[in-house]
Structure 1
Amino acid sequence: MTFTDALQSLRRAQKTSRGVSLYTRWVNRPLGRVLAAAAATAGLSPNTVTVISAVVTAAGLVTLAVAPVSIGTGIAVAVLLVLGFALDSADGQVARLTGTSSPAGEWLDHVVDAGKMTALHAAVLIALWRNGADAGWLGVVLAYQLVSVVFFAALTLHPLLQRGERVAAGPPSGDAGAPSGDAGAAAAAPSPLRAVGLLPADYGVLAASFVLWGAQPVFLVVYTALFVATTLIAAALSVKWFRSLSIAPG
């Protein structure tokens, strides 16, 4: 398979854009598609791409934690985190392209994502502490880390539990062929307002914000704003997901 063939195949096999932010739709998935085509052409497995994603992200976080605060450091961190996130999208695309999706690969991807989410805020905490930040800012980082971990757990568990309910109840009449976990989603047009509203909670936006790291007062304001917005989004979606799971099937 050539790179061009792989890229064309991936363009025809993309996930629905419903329920994702503009960053994921217009930046992360297209970049991940190019990386996935390159990985598939090189014969890399999805799990190998996942491991590369973890290594690239780790390099960015170590740089953040130990390098001096500067514009160059911020740009390097942002590039590495954005690239790591794109590779995180690429592993699933490689799996779909090559027909090698597996529960083990999905498990590995989620474990790496959980570690990435926790480690990012830990790296911010270490960097701020090393540079004498006020305790209040350290508290913001810890609170952001807590919200991120809880939100990630809610985001991951909801479709899994919903899928289990559907299996137990049997396929809904008239929609037996709908993808499990998101019945009818592909038929609904993505909401532009929702895509914009979800931007603050998108990992890619947080990753890109590190270009401001060299101007730390500005970065801290943006970081705090993303934290507040993510908290509100997480709370609203968690209430919605809890209610949807509380409705008995049938």
Structure 2
Amino acid sequence: MVHHYVQNYYGELIILLGKAIFCVPPENSTLLARYFYLRGFMNTLCSKRLDALSDFQNLYKTDMEIFPTDLVKALVDSLQKDERSQADQRPELKRLIFKVKTDNEMVLVQADDHVKKFHLPKTHMLQEDFVKRIQESGIVKDVATIHRLFEALTVGQQKQIDPEVFRVFYTFWKETEVEAQDVHLPAEVIEHLDNNECVYKLSCSVKTNQGVGKIAMTQKRLFLLTDGRPGFIEITKFRDIKVWLLYV
């Protein structure tokens, strides 16, 4: 009897949180993230695992800093066969499940074999601190590339990165990284790429003077993935691109 009342109470909270989420403006990401976290937790207590994962997926896109990695892993591991089938039919949940299964989110193994937990910055960053943060996040290690990214994110502004700008960039990057796992390349193409290099964006088919294909972007280069018989035609490496900034 007590369990019944408790479940009803949780159900009412879920409804109230749903109404609150609906009323929060999208730009108030901090409050929205807290609501997604709470509703996801309540759905977990009610054994509504798919609803909980959906909330945590929205949280993942809103505020990575409070993403409950261990809880999400436990939810994924506890999915029943029919729940897993339903999740596989929902692209956003499929990507989330793939992510927690293959990556210990935001935990990076450093060269000295110590494990360091990455935290999103809370203060403005000058270039030196930005380089450190990007390297710790695992996005890229090359300093020259990070310097170009710093310039791109600070065009027309003071030469420092706002923590909210970093959060938006980092969240978008992580989402793109997960989506990249859905791109499967033939062996003939993979052999042209470096270790750990993967396609982050793939265009629609385009006609070029090299034939018809799709333009692919990895973290290091652009190349043409030709249609028909799979082929690799490199367009350029990012390190060879010179960025010209125009100040008005």
Normalised by the length of structure 1, the TM-score is 0.29
Q: Which has the higher strand share?
A: 2
Greater RCO between the two (CA within 8 Å, min separation 6)? 1
Q: Which has the larger radius of gyration?
A: 2
Q: Which has the higher helix share?
A: 1
